[in-house]
Amino acid sequence: MISAEEFYTKRDARTAEWLDPTGLHAVSLGISIDEVEAQTFAGQLAFLLLVNMSARWCQRITLVAPDVPLHTALYCWGTNQLVDNALALAQRADPYGIFQDQCEPVAASVRIHLGRHPTLPISCIRGRGWLSELRHSDDMKLKDDDSINPLGPALAACMGASYMLRHALRHDDVCETAILSLWNLHHGGAVIDGPDLQKSDIGRVLLIGAGAVGASIAYLLPLLNLNFSDLCIINPDQVDYSNLNRVPLFFIEHIGVPKSEVVHNYLCAASVPSRYIGKWFNDVIGPELSLQNFDVVIPVANEHGVRAAVQANYPPVMIHGSTGSQWDAYAGRHIPLVDDCLVCRFPQPAAAPRCAQGVLKEQESAGAAPLTGALPFLSLAAGVLALADLVKLVIPGDPPNANTTILSFKSANLRPMIFDRVPRANCGGCPDPVVWQKLNGSSRHAPSSGAG
């Protein structure tokens, strides 16, 4: 076991430049949940995710929660009482953090509440169905009822994590009130909740990449009520300390274990059969792997020109998530012969910013570079946006969402931006329609089958 100092030095290698100068290592967080919210799947899920993400950067967290059993639909995350499970997740994320539960709210640098707070005028988050909300105190718009849909609550947890980090950084323009829908991707009064998640067959799915976005997607997969006739994960490298700063599925016991194996073991334990290939995509495509054996490809890796290699092999429908440099999370969908292709979307792989990297603080001295760091919630947010697109493949009545979604956690009201990208002329990656139909015409979500 390494020392605390060594642990934080390694885990925060990408964020060390801001942790000390801004005093973030001294920040303490308070996360509370009320009796009503703690009885729900949605409330418990948002609570556990928020604690999980917060323990990735904050060393002192106090939880205030009633002693209730974990919801049975969340047994993939543990089997204890809710609070015990939250504390265990935090301690596995950071074995040196000081995480405790108390029956009274304590003085914390930044607080947030899940549900409605009966007395204090503090900010609250809530997710229900496809909807996520951040609002002061007892003015929550979303109803108290429950829904076994992880998407709205998971995004609400990201909103809460962003809210707390931005307050800890003393940003002066933190969004305090927002409601948005992952169903119609509108915000404010225009939000529409989508249908419940019925048991649905998504077909054969290939997850290329088990890094921050890929593993975040995998973390929520068991909760989506999907059947996979095949689920294959490709990723060659191992979990290291720096992954613990933002990946909800990776914990201290996973250091040194191949990421694809960790994800595979997690899914199997959650009763989602899967298989994994611990190699680079470029080394297995062709002899070991054919994209024509899949109905959906989720390309969430960008090393070694993998996006161009995927596109060159006539992929079926693709859905992916990624992060930008402005506290923004992206989701992209590519219906072959309809949308643009992966090369249209990412023409220069080398120019992509580092995963989840964002500006945390502008320097006061003129000309000094701003402090940047890996945001602990942004990869998960990108994964949630991508999963919303994935689920829509199998839900009748799919709203006419655009093929590109952007959500910036620095925007004034967390309004998602959506638009349709069109193929670029002479991109060089767009598939030949005749060849594509010949190879993939029978795939489950092919455009000719009427899906999408």
Query: Which residues lie near Zn ion (CB under 5 A)?
Result: 341, 343-344, 427, 429-430
Question: Least distance (Å) from Zn ion to the CB of residue 351?
Answer: 17
Please identify, using beta-carbon distances, which residue of 77 and 330 lies nearer to Zn ion: 330
Intra-chain end-to-end CA distance of the chain, in Å: 50
Question: Least distance (Å) from Zn ion to the CB of residue 428?
Answer: 7
Please identify, using beta-carbon distances, which residue of 284 and 427 lies nearer to Zn ion: 427
Question: Least distance (Å) from Zn ion to the CB of residue 349?
Answer: 14
Secondary structure of the chain in HEC code, one letter for each residue:
CCCHHHHHHHHCCCCHHHHCCCCHHHCEEEEEECHHHHCCHHHHHHHHHHHHHHCCCCCEEEEECCCCECCHHHHHHCCCEHHHHHHHHHHHHCCCCEEEECCCCCCCCEEEEECCCCCCCCEEEEEECCEEEEEECCCCCCCCCCCCCCHHHHHHHHHHHHHHHHHHCCCCCCCCCEEEECCCCCEHHHCCCCCCCCCEEEEEEEEECCCHHHHHHHHHHHHCCEEEEEEEEECCCECCHHHHHCCCCCCHHHCCCEHHHHHHHHHHHCCCCCEEECCCHHHHECCCECHHHCCEEEECCCHHHHHHHHHHCCCCEEEEEEECCCCEEEEEEECCCCCCCHHHHCCCHHHCCCCCEEEEECCCCCCCCCEEEECCCHHHHHHHHHHHHHHHCCCCCCCCCCCEEEEECCCCCCCCEEECCCCCCCCCCCCCHHHHHHHHCCCCCCHHHCCC
Please identify, using beta-carbon distances, which residue of 270 and 337 lies nearer to Zn ion: 337
Please identify, using beta-carbon distances, which residue of 373 and 429 lies nearer to Zn ion: 429
Please identify, using beta-carbon distances, which residue of 34 and 340 lies nearer to Zn ion: 340
Do residues 166 and 58 make contact, with C-beta atoms less than 8 angstroms apart?
A: no
Please identify, using beta-carbon distances, which residue of 136 and 424 lies nearer to Zn ion: 424
Nearest to 263 by CA among 300, 227, 229, 293: 300
Please identify, using beta-carbon distances, which residue of 210 and 342 lies nearer to Zn ion: 342
Question: Least distance (Å) from Zn ion to the CB of residue 421?
Answer: 10
Residue matched to tokens 């974990």: 70
Question: Least distance (Å) from Zn ion to the CB of residue 345?
Answer: 8
Question: Least distance (Å) from Zn ion to the CB of residue 337?
Answer: 11
Question: Least distance (Å) from Zn ion to the CB of residue 340?
Answer: 6
Please identify, using beta-carbon distances, which residue of 343 and 381 lies nearer to Zn ion: 343
Question: Least distance (Å) from Zn ion to the CB of residue 452?
Answer: 17
Please identify, using beta-carbon distances, which residue of 16 and 427 lies nearer to Zn ion: 427
Question: Least distance (Å) from Zn ion to the CB of residue 347?
Answer: 9
Nearest to 154 by CA among 135, 178, 182: 182
Question: Least distance (Å) from Zn ion to the CB of residue 423?
Answer: 5
Count of positions (residues) in the chain: 452
In sequence order, what are the beta bridge partners of 123? 136
Question: Least distance (Å) from Zn ion to the CB of residue 157?
Answer: 35
Do residues 118 and 138 make contact, with C-beta atoms less than 8 angstroms apart?
A: yes
Please identify, using beta-carbon distances, which residue of 134 and 341 lies nearer to Zn ion: 341
Please identify, using beta-carbon distances, which residue of 99 and 346 lies nearer to Zn ion: 346
